Amino acid sequence: MAVLNATHDPGLRSWVSTANLPDADFPIQNLPFAVFRRTGSGESFRGGVAIGDCVLDLGALHGLDPFRGSAAPALGACAAPRLNAFMALGEEAAGALRAALSQALRADSPDAQHLRSLLVPQHAVEYRVAADVGDYTDFYTSIHHALAVGRLFRPDNPLLPNYKWVPIAYHGRASSIRPSGQEFARPVGQVFPPAATAPQLAATRRLDYELEVGVFIGRGTELGTRVPLAAAESHVFGLCLLNDWSARDVQSWEYQPLGPFLSKNFATTVSPWVVTLEALAPFRAPWSRPAGEPAPLPYLDDAALRAGGAIDLNLEVWLDTARMRAAGVPPARMSHSNFRDSWWSVAQMVAHHTLGGCNLRAGDLFGSGTQSGPAADQAGSLLELSAGGQRPVRLPGGEQRTFLEDGDRVRLRGWCERPGYVRIGLGECVATVLPASALPDAAT
């Protein structure tokens, strides 16, 4: 696990003034990575690091050849249009570059004058997904979400017997992962309405969001290699926000016996900024199970995990509708939760994923599964908040929702804070629902 070092010093300040604001997502103690270009410019995408409300252009910085040692090749890898090669260098190289950037961006840095020209306002850029995602695996790590959903469909037996023993997951569709800001059409699929006698082809009427944490893999592994729990986090580059959209009516008809398919593969949205595990080191927390619950099998348990395997990461969902935006009504907070309530940790996900010898590649993406807390207002999906559509959620301005309507915009937010340390954020993950395209007919 990452340890505290000089980059976490709460006394550090940057010559980028907006990085010093108390509620800034991107102070100098954070320094997350993304891939960007100026909006509408036609420029090549390249790596950038967030500082305050700006992006430091790492492609342009590489041209100045400012660093020595292992930070130099790491910076060179960030000049590429995707960050896979940078992620593959591993945690030591990423840490060296982050330390060099921290030095260059500090208030007393002699480099401030000639680096100012390399800053680009974040409002003037567009992003792509930080890495070329070769494989995407979505887990189911929140026991509170699993219980809430299970009670809707199996009130007498809400939690299946394997849940407390196995980090459940399915392999998702990497090609439909898009960066924050996307707009996507309401998906179409087979549904089986309650009063019907046969399935129907229709646009989903039970479109849902899922509040998740994304995990980008850094250093890869060879096929047939098993990653032990103690080494698992050395294969993780960092975290982002992830919205694993779901068409619940399509899902309920198709998921047996093999799980999600069309109900999930139409869109997955990720935040552009990837916060390294090193930046998150001040916000580690003990990982534990409630008294009376079974301990994990030995390959999923060790002293380091119990001492600091959880991450104290606050999560929120905000929603605004087309009518709210037209009337100037601000977004409504739908829920809040915390990643530390997960039944399974990041390290356990990695260790279990490779147990049978599955290889990992730099840029692979894990989803944590919907992150819900124990309280009713900590539900990470509308399926839970509306009790499966039976209890509409009231919004400012008089509207209500059981599931998402066309024009709805969902915004995920995440941040860490702890007394004695500077707050850091993951930014936002935003997407908007558009009307469905025309249904196919028999001729097509």
% of residues, the chain, pLDDT over 70: 99
Grouping H, G, I as helix, E, B as strand and the rest as coil, residue 370 is: coil
Strands 211-217, 268-270: pairing is unpaired
Q: Which residues contact 395 (CB under 8 A, 6 or more apart)?
A: 319, 321, 324, 332, 401
- Measure the CA–CA gap between 95 and 218, rounded to whole angstroms: 12
- Is the Cβ–Cβ distance between 349 and 358 less than 8 Å? no
- Measure the CA–CA gap between 99 and 212, rounded to whole angstroms: 29
Mean pLDDT, residues 167-172 taken together: 97
- Measure the CA–CA gap between 307 and 365, rounded to whole angstroms: 25
Q: 416, 408, 242, 211: which is closest to 317 by C-alpha?
A: 211
- Is the Cβ–Cβ distance between 64 and 101 less than 8 Å? no
Q: What's the token pair of residue 289?
A: 């199970």
So what's the pLDDT on residue 153?
A: 87
Beta bridge partners of 367: 138, 214
Model pLDDT for residues 130-144, shown as the tens digit of each residue: 999 999 999 999 999
Q: Which residues contact 249 (CB under 8 A, 6 or more apart)?
A: 191, 193, 204, 205, 206
Equal fold, 6-128 vs 136-434: no
Homologous superfamily of 136-434 in CATH?
Fumarylacetoacetase-like, C-terminal domain (3.90.850.10)
pLDDT band at 2 (very low <50, low <70, confident <90, very high): confident
Mean pLDDT, residues 29-47 taken together: 97
- Measure the CA–CA gap between 159 and 153, rounded to whole angstroms: 10
Mean pLDDT, residues 33-62 taken together: 97
pLDDT at residue 251 is higher than 70: yes
Find the helix or strand (DSSP H, E) in which 322 lies.
Answer: helix 322-327
Q: What are phi and psi of 97, to 5 degrees?
A: -65, -40
pLDDT at residue 1 is higher than 90: no
Q: What Cα–Cα distance (Å) separates residue 180 from each residue in 81, 127, 205, 267, 297?
A: 17, 8, 23, 11, 37
- Is the Cβ–Cβ distance between 315 and 145 less than 8 Å? no
- Is the Cβ–Cβ distance between 184 and 275 less than 8 Å? no
Mean pLDDT, residues 368-397 taken together: 97
- The CATH number assigned to the domain with range 6-128 reads 2.30.30.230
- Is the Cβ–Cβ distance between 160 and 150 less than 8 Å? yes
Average pLDDT, the chain: 97
Q: Which residues contact 62 (CB under 8 A, 6 or more apart)?
A: 75, 76, 78, 79
pLDDT at residue 59 is higher than 60: yes
List the domain boundaries for the chain: 6-128, 136-434
Residues catalogued as catalytic: 145
| Torsion of the alpha carbons at 74, 84, 241 and 71, rounded to the nearest 10 | 0
Q: What's the token pair of residue 437?
A: 């395209």
CB atoms under 10 Å from CB of 327, counted, come to: 11
pLDDT at residue 442 is higher than 90: no
Q: 366, 343, 415: which is closest to 242 by C-alpha?
A: 366
pLDDT at residue 118 is higher than 90: yes
| Torsion of the alpha carbons at 181, 410, 212 and 23, rounded to the nearest 10 | 80
Strands 125-128, 332-338: pairing is unpaired
Q: What's the token pair of residue 68?
A: 């020595």
Q: Which of 192-196, 311-315, 389-393, 415-419 has the lowest mean pLDDT?
A: 192-196
Model pLDDT for residues 300-309, shown as the tens digit of each residue: 999 999 999 9
Q: What's the token pair of residue 6?
A: 């000089």
**Helices of type H across 116-272:** 143-153, 248-254
So what's the pLDDT on residue 79?
A: 98
So what's the pLDDT on residue 192?
A: 96
- Measure the CA–CA gap between 292 and 355, rounded to whole angstroms: 26
Q: What are phi and psi of 240, to 5 degrees?
A: -140, 180
Q: Tell me, what amino acid is at 399?
A: E
Q: What Cα–Cα distance (Å) separates residue 426 from each residue in 49, 308, 314, 363?
A: 12, 20, 10, 18
CB atoms under 10 Å from CB of 370, counted, come to: 28
pLDDT band at 332 (very low <50, low <70, confident <90, very high): very high
- Is the Cβ–Cβ distance between 411 and 317 less than 8 Å? yes
So what's the pLDDT on residue 444?
A: 47
